[in-house]
Chain A
Amino acid sequence: MKEIRNLCWWAVFITAAIVIQAALPGVDVLAVGLLILLQERDYKNIFWLGPLFIFLQEGMGTRLFGGSVLLYVMTAVLFRLGQWWFEVKSFLFVVLLSTVLIGPYYALDWLMAPLQNMNFDMRGTLDKCLLQALFLPFAWRIFTLTRRWRKNNEAAE
């Protein structure tokens, strides 16, 4: 039962992520899911949800395959580094991580543009990265709250 509930939560999360990404162009909501998986050390689900997130992002994107792989690996590496010094489940850590992630998000666009013969819009990319940095902590907060309700319900049972 617990497993099914968990699966349902992830199905709802992915649906919500797709809808939010359709409403807010350029924002990465699936990164919130990755962050939750890393915080919960849910390596069993990372095994299938990680590739699913990557294929979703690459599928709905317009770049050649590879950008999301680098981005999510960088997120995981920065998370692991942060684990040595910070309490990773705190809101402040997520704010810090999302701020640091501006670098990889910007660098990825900058590196991929000449590789794929595309124009690099410096201002647009910076705006997108800042929006992502502002969005991530609050989205994480909301999604973790719904996750907590699920866990509380399970504990009550």
Chain B
Amino acid sequence: MTFRRILILAGILLILFLGMYTWNQRTRTLDELATDTGLELTGAVLAPLRAMQDSLRELWRRYFDLVNMREESERLKARLGELETRLEIYGELLAELERLRKLIDLPEDPVWKPLGARVLAGRMGPNAVLASIVINRGYMTGGRPNTPLVTNEGLVGRILRASAHTANVLLLTDPGSRVAVITQSSRAFGILTGKGPDKPLEVNFVRRDANIKQGDILITAGLDRKFPKGIPAARVKSVAPSDYTQFLAIEAEPLVASRYLEEVILLEPTGIARLSEEPDDSPAEFVGPLVPQKTMAP
């Protein structure tokens, strides 16, 4: 084959590739196909292995539990007594909370359904350039794209792409992640942006006169309509006036250490319309314990 022919062949292949690339960018056909096959197969391989790993770990743990059982039992009995006392106090507090909720008429939240999911892996392969994790839920099992993920500590991120039973999750730390947040104490608004794994988060567009201190908790504002309102997302690390913009330069740290994640909770939108009439652009939902449903006035 002459050099000229090689060049022509390379040119044709390049044009074909660019054609395929732009067509896929517009239609996402190949992306969906790759997600449905590649990601699904990856999940199918990793899920049983993770289950096996869990079983072995559990077996090992149980052995040690047996060894230390008597000592643990004594300690637990004492703890149980203490907790029973606490439970009585908390029961009162819960009843009070319910009364207060009714009193200030907080909106009900049947909009989000919590679903547990197992983390299968972190970034996988040379194409995983975003800060992401793989979980064992897909669009058939409650993990549709853009579904928010939380743990008991706070916000983790949202689902980026999903196959039938497996999904890729974009973490808060990724530079492409943007979340509308407010500070828990002073209610100052900002946009939480990732700067990459192991780097602090950045809070942009916070007014200079906002009263924000180090250690303040940032919660989701719900204004982006991707995340429910009120989920703790990050803790303020440093606050200083920006040298370049008219806003504050704020650094924050995520509340959830994504490196050590094993289980997460998906907040699946149920599709149930809220009872109270709200305009479409209003701040989104409050996430909290469900309160008994009100009946609509005729």
Contact B35 A64 (CB under 8 A): no
Contact A119 B176 (CB under 8 A): yes
Contact A119 B120 (CB under 8 A): no
Question: Which of A57, A109, A113 has the largest number of chain B CB atoms within 10 A?
Answer: A57
Contact A65 B128 (CB under 8 A): no
Contact B129 A109 (CB under 8 A): yes
Contact B168 A55 (CB under 8 A): no
Contact A113 B129 (CB under 8 A): yes
Q: Which of B10-45 contact A (CB under 8 A)?
A: 13, 17, 20-21, 24-25, 30-31, 33-42, 45
**Which chain A positions have C-beta within 8 A of B196?**
119, 121, 124
State the CA gap A66–B19 with chains docked (Å): 11
State the CA gap A59–B40 with chains docked (Å): 8
Pick from A59, A65, A112: contact of B39, CB below 8 A: A59
Q: Which stretch (A21-29, A39-47, A83-91, A92-100) binds chain B?
A: A21-29
Contact A22 B126 (CB under 8 A): no
**Which chain B positions have C-beta within 8 A of A134?**
none
Give the Cβ gap from A28 to chain B, nearest Cβ, in Å: 4
Sample 29 A-B pairs with CB under 8 A, ordered by A number.
Answer: A14-B45, A18-B42, A18-B45, A21-B121, A21-B124, A22-B120, A25-B124, A26-B126, A26-B128, A28-B126, A30-B125, A55-B34, A55-B37, A56-B37, A56-B42, A56-B125, A58-B30, A58-B31, A59-B37, A60-B124, A61-B129, A62-B130, A64-B31, A65-B21, A65-B30, A65-B34, A66-B24, A112-B129, A117-B176
Residues on A facing B (Cβ under 8 Å): 14-15, 18-19, 21-22, 25-28, 30, 54-71, 73, 105, 108-109, 112-113, 117-119, 121, 124, 128, 132
Residues on B facing A (Cβ under 8 Å): 13, 17, 20-21, 24-25, 30-31, 33-42, 45-46, 49, 120-130, 132, 134, 160-161, 163, 168, 170, 175-176, 196
